[in-house]
Amino acid sequence: MEWEVVIGCEIHSQLATKSKIFSGASTAYGAEPNTQACAVDLGLPGVLPVLNKEAVRMAVKFGLAVGAELTKRSVFARKNYFYPDLPKGYQISQFELPIVGIGHLDIELEDGSTKRIGITRAHLEEDAGKSLHEDFHGMTGIDLNRAGTPLLEIVSEPDLRSAKEAVAYMKKIHSLVRYLEICDGNMQEGSFRCDANVSVRPMGQKELGTRAEVKNLNSFRFVERAIDYEVERQIDVIESGGKVVQETRLYDSDKGETRAMRSKEEANDYRYFPDPDLLPVELEDDFIEMVRSTLPELPDAKKERFTEQYSLSTYDASVLTASREMGDFYETVVTASGGDAKVAANWVMGDFSASLNKDNKEISESVVTAEMLAGMLKRIADNTISGKIAKEVFEAMWNGEGDADTVIDKKGLKQITDSGAIEAIIDDVINNNPKQAEQYRGGKEQLFGFFVGQVMKATQGKANPGQVNELLKKKLNS
């Protein structure tokens, strides 16, 4: 039987506010345990939450970016359950009236077509703390630094039909929240976390199959693997006569499989009700328009512009607009170099991106700035160096040896463009290889490359390749 895969995603995106959603404590990552948890975060008797307006602004910004209906009067609710890292015994979240209503996002499929994915809702909530089980000898340590960190939970419609589509959707959201500067997107630190609701149904069937929620997906690679595993598992279960159980499953990245959580971990009646400590969030039109005016150019619009303005292919444009930083970097390079946009694209997507990947660095951490790369491209354009030598210059810049001019100067990489000097070297090479010269002149034209290589070797690659070709041809044919 042919099976259709149906996936919906829930993404928890940590909002990049300075302080927590309901208290003034800092949200910075990595502090000593419990040093960033104030009385409110600890859930001491008598404390009250006060909503951080920044979190509201960021949620609205997201809503506008996905063309969503904004809820003019959204309500915070309490989700009640006991857990040691949940200090109040309830999480403040939004239930019936989330701040962001129905919206959508377009993703690109592998065949180059686009697909519209529905966004059901996005709501604000507070994060819990962390339970630490290691180093406590049979006990559990509780770190409440993360408790109260603002999250935007973005829920998609079950519109995704494969693990690859799910990954494309998550990457698009990931890129979007960073464009909007509402989330740092750091998946290792848990700033961006995904859960996937996966089900399968016979191709052509209308009703959805029973779904399993797969949690704990903290990289795009894991998302793809976990969904693929889960799809296989569900098909196996059904084809061997069983039934898929609605449950929460954890992805184990070491084993590459999903496993059901103990039923105790999820058998909860959360007893949601509106939080009487917080007023409904009223969104005024003026506020919404103010936020709208701060929206940056969004990825799709920027991609469109890149293909037109810089004559880039759709592929190049989408790579260069995958993140706001990448797009900004590229545009700075083009503007500062004043040269060929395609050459700039090749360098940014090529050596520059490869170096970032190799050293596992963000653009913001790169030693080579857009201005430095542009400076190097200028030296290619004015023939000071060849494209080949440029790779050496780039590597030196990457290693912190200074800007292009400094490196060229220090290493003596300046291209030899003096035709007298090049001619002298060519003469030497021809004289030293009389046999080959004879063969060439006898019609073995493929030996031309040999002579070019010899000349470049003799000049340590610094001779202008165009000139070498031209002069060599003249000499050999004379």
Give the HSE-up count for residue 227: Cα atoms under 13 Å, Cβ half-sphere. Answer: 28
CB of 75 to another protein, least distance (A): 12
Nearest-approach distance from CB 28 to another protein, in angstroms: 22
For 39, the token pair is: 């009385």
- Look-up of token digits 């995106």: 13
Place of tokens 């260069």: 320
Q: Does 43 bind another protein (CB under 8 A)?
A: yes
Distance of closest approach, residue 76 Cβ to another protein, in angstroms: 10
421 binds another protein (CB under 8 A): no
> Closest separation between CB of residue 278 and another protein, Å?
5
Q: Is 245 in the site for another protein (CB under 8 A)?
A: no
Residue in 19, 65, 66, 90 binding another protein, rule: CB under 8 A: 90
* Rg over CA atoms, the chain: 30
Q: Residue 450 and residue 456: Cα distance in Å, rounded?
A: 10
Nearer to another protein, 272 or 450 (CB): 272
- Contact between 20 and another protein by CB under 8 A: the answer reads no
Dist CA 180 CA 60 (whole Å) = 11
Regarding 235 and contact with another protein (CB under 8 A), the answer is no
- Cα–Cα–Cα angle for 150, 128, 105, rounded to 5 degrees: 45
Give the integer Cα–Cα distance in Å for 124 and 150. 7
Q: Residues 73, 116, 271, 444: which binds another protein (CB under 8 A)?
A: 271
Closest to another protein by CB, 88 vs 172, is: 88
Q: How many CB atoms lie under 10 A from the CB of residue 368?
A: 23
Query: Segment near another protein (CB under 8 A), from 86-94, 100-108, 367-375, 463-471?
Result: 86-94
Q: Which is nearer to another protein, 142 or 455 (CB)?
A: 142
- Return the ∠ at Cα 169 (arms to 166 and 174), rounded to 5°: 125
Using rule CB under 8 A, residue 280 touches another protein: no
- The verdict on 203 binding another protein (CB under 8 A) reads no
- Report the greatest alpha carbon distance in the chain: 99
φ, ψ of residue 432 to 5 degrees: the values are: -80, -15
Q: Does 282 interact with another protein (rule: CB under 8 A)? A: no
132 belongs to the binding site for another protein (CB under 8 A): no
Using the rule CB under 8 A, which residue among 87, 150, 185, 327 binds another protein? 87
* By CB under 8 A, residue 82 contacts another protein: yes
Minimum CB distance to another protein smaller for 46 or for 112: 46
Rounded to a whole number of angstroms, the minimum distance from the CB of residue 94 to another protein is 15
Stretch touching another protein by CB under 8 A, among 105-113, 254-262, 269-277, 360-368: 269-277
Ordered DSSP codes for 303-349: HHHHHHHS---HHHHHHHTSSHHHHHHHHHHHHHH-S-HHHHHHHII
- Tell me if 278 contacts another protein by CB under 8 A: yes
Q: CB of 42: closest distance to another protein in angstroms?
A: 6
Q: Which residues in 47-66 contact another protein (CB under 8 A)?
A: 47-51
Q: Whole-angstrom distance between the N-terminal and C-terminal Cα of the chain?
A: 74
Q: Give CA–CA dist 144/83, Å, rounded.
A: 12
From 38-46, 170-178, 221-229, 451-459, give the range in contact with another protein by CB under 8 A. Answer: 38-46
Tell me how far apart the alpha carbons of residues 393 and 396 are, in angstroms, rounded to a whole number. 5
Q: If binding means CB under 8 A, how many residues of this protein chain bind another protein? A: 29
Closer to another protein by Cβ: residue 73 or 457: 73
Closer to another protein by CB, 43 or 158: give it.
43
Counting contacts by CB under 8 A, is residue 148 touching another protein? no
Q: Which residues contact 96 (CB under 8 A, 6 or more apart)?
A: 75, 77, 272
Measured from the CB atom, the residue of 77 and 154 that comes closer to another protein is: 77
Query: Interface with another protein includes 142 (CB under 8 A)?
Result: yes
Is 267 a binding residue for another protein by CB under 8 A? The answer is no
**3-class SS shares of the chain: helix, strand, coil, % to 5:** 40, 20, 40
Distance CA 272, CA 77 (A): 6
- Alpha carbon distance 297, 304 (integer Å): 11
Q: Does 273 bind another protein (CB under 8 A)?
A: yes
When binding is defined by CB under 8 A, the residue of 1, 2, 46, 364 that contacts another protein is 46
Whole-Å CA distances, 3 to 102, 162, 198, 213, 334: 28, 11, 13, 19, 48
What distance lies between CA 434 and its chain's CA centroid? 57
- State yes or no: residue 150 binds another protein (CB under 8 A): no
Q: Which is nearer to another protein, 88 or 249 (CB)?
A: 88
Tell the smallest beta-carbon distance from residue 378 to another protein (Å). 55
Q: What is the distance between the alpha carbons of residues 333 and 392, in angstroms, rounded to a whole number?
A: 19
Binding site for another protein (CB under 8 A): 39, 42-51, 78, 80, 82, 84, 87-90, 140, 142, 269, 271-273, 276-279
